[in-house]
Each structure stands twice: as C-alpha cells, then as structure tokens.
Structure 1
Amino acid sequence: MAEKPKSVLLPVVAAAVFAGLGRMVWQKISADRAARESKIAGPLDDKTKAWISEVVRTPRQ
C-alpha cells in the first residue's frame, strides 16, 4: 500500500499561530514593564484628584 503524503500546512500554520501569540505576550510584558518604570499612568495623589474634580465640575463661560 502506498502511504499518504503528510500535509505540511497544518504544522506550519500551528507554528505561525504559536509564534504570533508568543510575540503578542512578549510585547504586552514589555509594555507593562515600560509603563511601570516610567510611571506615566500611576496612582494619583489627593491634591491631583481634587484638582481634576474641580476642573471637571466648574462650568465654562
């Protein structure tokens, strides 16, 4: 009996999907680490929260 030729497409697609997911996870980890180190979007202190509330509530003229 002749053997069926094995398809190469499925392993190639699986490898591409796995590599893409790994790249996305690596980018997320790198972005989180950079954001944590730069502290651009960090916790706000009470003075800043009060200032933001005042600016938002004050009607413009």
Structure 2
Amino acid sequence: MAEKPKSVVLSVVAVAVFAGLARMVLQKIRADRAARATNVAGPVDEKTRAWISDVVRTPRQ
C-alpha cells in the first residue's frame, strides 16, 4: 500500500512534464508559422544588400 502513492505522484509528474513539453512544441510551431506569414526576414534585393554592406564596413566617427 505504501508504494501506490509514490507511483501516482510519479505518473502525475511525468504527465505534467510531457504536457509542458508538448505546449512548448506547439508554441514554437505557432511562432514559426507567424514569422513565416509576416515575412519579416524576406529576400533582400541587390541595392539593399550593397547598402547594408556599405553601412557595416564604413567606420563610424
């Protein structure tokens, strides 16, 4: 009889851990889909690429 409460607690903790992991995975999937839908980091044209390169390489005074 003394072993039963331990096994119940262990199973409850295991379920809570797996539920937390599943929740994190779902949040990551939703965040990736939202980022893809907004296209924040889309393709960069050649003019913008040259401007970024110039800004990065030019020393500031």
TM-score, structure 2 normalization: 0.81
Q: Deviations over 1:14-57 (max 9, x none)?
A: 10011001000000000000000001122322221111001111
Instruction: Determine helix, strand or coil for the equivalent of 1:8.
Output: helix
Question: Relative CO higher for 1 or 2, CA cutoff 8 Å, sep ≥ 6?
Answer: 1
1:10 aligns with 2:10: yes
Identical positions, percent: 71
Instruction: Determine helix, strand or coil for the equivalent of 2:19.
Output: helix
4+ aligned runs moved over 6 Å, structure 1:
none
Greater helix proportion? 2
Separation in structure 2 between the aligned mates of residue 43 and residue 11 of structure 1, nearest angstrom:
48
Separation in structure 1 between the aligned mates of residue 60 and residue 2 of structure 2, nearest angstrom:
76
Task: Report the count of equivalent residues.
Answer: 59
TM-score, structure 1 normalization: 0.81
